[in-house]
Structure 1
């Protein structure tokens, strides 16, 4: 793994022109074309074979780069791109030829083909005059037969995959192929069942809130609505879909750091700048509440964050990683072409040069104009963006890729107590077994750390200039099963109850005052460990622990980024825990923690900080507890007082 440095704040830099977006797209396309099979049907960049085999890897490479090629062709209305059109047309002809040595894996042969079929169908529709209409009749008939295998298929996972069937059957209908009105009605109803508060959409029935909300569940309704014949099938639903997207984007633009980093949370992070896709979707749908200039600027920052950090690499290839290659960030099934779903974030180049978005004045993100504090109700998130360092932080009390009351393990990418645009959750195998960073965990004599998945969100609110939220968890230890399936959820195994942990967060600027109380404590519990933000770097960071405080600092841009934890109420010891090769952001990851003896019924209060501005003194922080309230003196000497009565019950609804 190559160590990376977080890009500096790009303040004052002009957004890319359309010509610069096109140049970046052409670079990505040129980097992959040299890895095409003789018939162009499979594109397989170098790298470890994915868990689904080489043939699936090659299909992914074709379909996912065909997305980008299609955006490019549509944006130029086919003019001057005959070579690109011919390359992909040949690949289609080869891919659907059953006698070809490099034919495509068929949907009935492997489920992953259902995913890739959707990209092929969307782009064949988008580029209909320049690609589909130029295919010979035999190839068109073979494409229809290839796609038809999905009609009536009942094996689709119950998540964002529903859109893959919708767009394929819509295309089939438009070209005289088989399709099912019932399939589409069922899938639209399932999509609607995943809709949550404020335009957010869960990726399935679990509490799975991540980038799939934007790059799948909001993107595909917009793309679908523009497919031939979709209006006949939509039944007037487009205004509601756009309204949800409009509301979601008001939060989404606030979850991008000033350096362009998306929130580093959730699965499939190797798709990188696919996180820009919903911003382009908002422009295409002409949402009313966020300007086209702000949405284009958000997309620009996200894509350029990765371009500045070395993605694509010197070979003009996207690797399995975040900035550089780091295979652990990928899912087990991911192959060398999987990262090319990132090209969804290039959707904007499908908009022609005369589209108004290219002349719209750039408008800054919320974190670029001031401190931003908000709640994402659906996900149970408290969001704090700080202008001084450009970082967006999310404190999490409602997302775990599980169901309330479940007893699976904590998924590091979903269930930690906080995520940010400047830090990455630890992602090595140990991180799935032993919650460390951003956790409040009970440990036993064998060193097992408890998990919180299945926790209950107790409520969240804005209290002056402080965001408040809480959750209660039936903490449990897990002895992992020998075989695990990881598509986002935590590990499974034999479960032992550890205790009941109530956690309340008060978030202000770069700090969180975290209250933790353990009830129903298991006799085997030895200690309570509360972890702060993980920082990763290419070499040993600056770290120390003494008195009541543990700190870690690393270089960031022209300054330093500090992670700290300070004990305000309770008796415990600070420490800094290191993990090697556990983060996509650097070789050495360090986490400041507080270790306390396990004790039931007693409040512990810590101050957790992630500060790139270093503008206040931690030693000024303090907290006092009364029966029904807590007073927090923050590092900048401001004192706030908050009511705790709302968190007495474990049956409160979201506020």
Structure 2
């Protein structure tokens, strides 16, 4: 796939990408997909072992998710279709909904995953109505309605899936299908609303890429499907617009200078689906068009230049190249094609302002920043010199306060970034072994953090960010069950309470830690783990340095009084970013001193740190002096 020939550094001074790049990428993915289709085109089965739901679901996913890309492509060209996409997918659609076809699809009332794929099919039928639905044989249209109809009144999980039901129901309503109970579904989605334009993916503290590529993506599309004459859509649209505009102001801060999205949350194999909310902002007319396109183009270019799609034109299960452990138990070889949602900008015509505006720089390209994002409880720091965005997490764990579940690496770690990944595989997976504060039991097992209470999240007058959380350490023997990327219940053993205060400035975090015990719950050794650095080989250096992706990164941990170390944990094939992952750590030699405060400084950045921040104590107040000479006083919670 040759994309550099389309570069335009005048229109796009940060990425070089134009609409021609996006169109070429979409066409490449779609033409490659045809090579893996069944004779009827109804199933697109990409190479690789079947997913957790079996080959029938895999084939449906391959069709429905590539259908998204085809629909966006034709809609944005106002029906111009030189590749014959609508004819090709019309043939597959007819076979898929025909109950007598050997390639007929798994139905919505046969398997829950079909509820997800049905939404993509309904959405594209809406977007391409003049060029596909209106030209279908009446029998096929009737069979499409029959296929989608079981969504009406069916049980959907009370998370982003509710929007899948609403999209299908709204399409059915537009073609004379069964009468849906749309108001009930809309009322349920209102419960997802959080501060500053954010949504939670359900009742738990579930904040991840689904906030953008699902919970902000569908509401305004539903308004379009319902039409301007629909009273509910007319009443809701202003609120959806306000929340999207506010969310995007935070979201542009969560993309690295190299275009990498935050490596956090489940379903990361959907990759550049992370661009979807920025395109939705452009379609809805909120946000700066040049910044929105720069953000979206940066994301997709990041993956296109790092092996996604691969040399055969396939989006594999992985992040850059193939890396199967990143997938959840529900993922199959067709699952990565939800990345097609990131191609939504192609549904906008070439003369739309988002395509004609000159690119504007990302926040991390404009200068260093520190931002407190309240809904997910994140302290976000970006540094222009290396383009790295870091998140220190005191609000997200995909659980509720007091829940004693295993700690999900993708949600409950204390830190995430656009340049690192939590440990997801290998001998250290399943235990807090990076960006964590934990205590060890008598067997050396690390306790979990899930269920913490958020105590503090603010920006000081100096610009320094401060956050704090508290939890009861606990050990979990998880129950057997599907891995959806978040914590699992199981047999629980409770440990001491842990308080953590974070002060964040630039690439540094000062971390204050206290362990509180009781006679019935003794303390164990305290362990602090730093940033997990992607590396080409193992290392025992105390200041960890690694070169990957053409750049050098440094991870450093400076232990304060009472903490021994640091040492370096080396984990092989533990993340999708590099062959090795290096994690600095420190801790107490014996049980932590109950009630005492410990401190450590953690660093992640492209430049070797000249000097760490220092901490002195005045009673229960920690006085932090930063390398730039700023001084902050941090009272203990």
TM-score (norm 2): 0.95
CA contact (8 A) 1:148 1:177 kept: yes
1:514-593 residue pairs with structure 2 within 5 A? 514-520=511-517, 525-540=523-538, 542-545=539-542, 551-593=543-585
Structure 1: how far apart are the matches of 2:364 and 2:628? 23
State the match for 1:76 in structure 2: 77
Structure 1: how far apart are the matches of 2:341 and 2:222? 14
522-531 or 577-586, larger mean C-alpha shift = 522-531
1:26-175 residue pairs with structure 2 within 5 A? 26-81=27-82, 83-153=84-154, 155-175=155-175
CA contact (8 A) 1:125 1:228 kept: no
CA contact (8 A) 2:563 2:586 kept: no
The Cα shift of 1:91 comes to: 0.4
Distance 1:90 1:137, change over 3 A: same
CA RMSD of aligned residues (A): 1.5
State the match for 1:617 in structure 2: 611
State the match for 2:505 in structure 1: 508
Structure 1: how far apart are the matches of 2:188 and 2:633? 40
The Cα shift of 1:143 comes to: 0.1
519-528 or 342-351, larger mean C-alpha shift = 519-528
The Cα shift of 1:484 comes to: 2.7
SS in structure 2 of the partner of residue 236 of structure 1: helix
Structure 2: how far apart are the matches of 1:431 and 1:398? 24
CA contact (8 A) 1:409 1:432 kept: no
SS in structure 1 of the partner of residue 296 of structure 2: helix
1:640 to 612, 631, 634: 631
2:474 to 455, 476, 481: 476
56-65 or 559-568, larger mean C-alpha shift = 559-568
1:492-507 residue pairs with structure 2 within 5 A? 492-507=489-504
The Cα shift of 1:604 comes to: 0.6
CA contact (8 A) 2:149 2:172 kept: yes
State the match for 2:4 in structure 1: none
SS in structure 2 of the partner of residue 512 of structure 1: strand
Residues 510-565 of structure 1 show CA distances to partners (whole Å, capped at 9, x for unaligned) of: 0000000000166554311100000123333x4423xxxxx211114554201110
State the match for 1:4 in structure 2: none
Structure 1: how far apart are the matches of 2:432 and 2:228? 46
**Residue 355 (1) aligns with residue 364 (2):** no
1:118-517 residue pairs with structure 2 within 5 A? 118-153=119-154, 155-180=155-180, 182=181, 184-229=182-227, 231-232=229-230, 233-287=232-286, 290-428=287-425, 430-431=427-428, 433-463=430-460, 464-481=462-479, 483-517=480-514
221-230 or 161-170, larger mean C-alpha shift = 221-230
Residues 298-354 of structure 1 show CA distances to partners (whole Å, capped at 9, x for unaligned) of: 000000000011100000000001001111101112100100000100100111112
CA contact (8 A) 1:170 1:230 kept: no
CA contact (8 A) 2:555 2:605 kept: yes
The Cα shift of 1:491 comes to: 2.6
The Cα shift of 1:486 comes to: 2.2
Structure 2: how far apart are the matches of 1:149 and 1:479? 39
Structure 1: how far apart are the matches of 2:190 and 2:330? 28
Structure 2: how far apart are the matches of 1:150 and 1:187? 12
SS in structure 1 of the partner of residue 487 of structure 2: coil
483-492 or 72-81, larger mean C-alpha shift = 483-492
Structure 2: how far apart are the matches of 1:231 and 1:348? 26
Structure 2: how far apart are the matches of 1:613 and 1:538? 18
The Cα shift of 1:431 comes to: 4.7
Structure 1: how far apart are the matches of 2:229 and 2:495? 54
Report the count of equivalent residues: 621
State the match for 2:8 in structure 1: none
Q: Which runs of 5+ in 2 are unaligned?
A: 1-11
Structure 1: how far apart are the matches of 2:26 and 2:398? 33
Distance 1:429 1:173, change over 3 A: farther
Structure 2: how far apart are the matches of 1:570 and 1:45? 54
Distance 1:433 1:357, change over 3 A: closer
The Cα shift of 1:642 comes to: 1.8
Structure 2: how far apart are the matches of 1:581 and 1:625? 41
The Cα shift of 1:578 comes to: 1.4
Q: Which structure would you say has the larger RCO, counting Cα contacts within 8 Å and 6 or more residues apart? A: 1
The Cα shift of 1:639 comes to: 4.0
Structure 2: how far apart are the matches of 1:278 and 1:543? 41
CA contact (8 A) 1:58 1:337 kept: yes
Distance 1:557 1:586, change over 3 A: closer
Structure 2: how far apart are the matches of 1:403 and 1:16? 42
The Cα shift of 1:14 comes to: 4.1
Distance 1:559 1:262, change over 3 A: closer
State the match for 2:3 in structure 1: none
Residues 597-631 of structure 1 show CA distances to partners (whole Å, capped at 9, x for unaligned) of: 3221111100000011225233xx32111224211
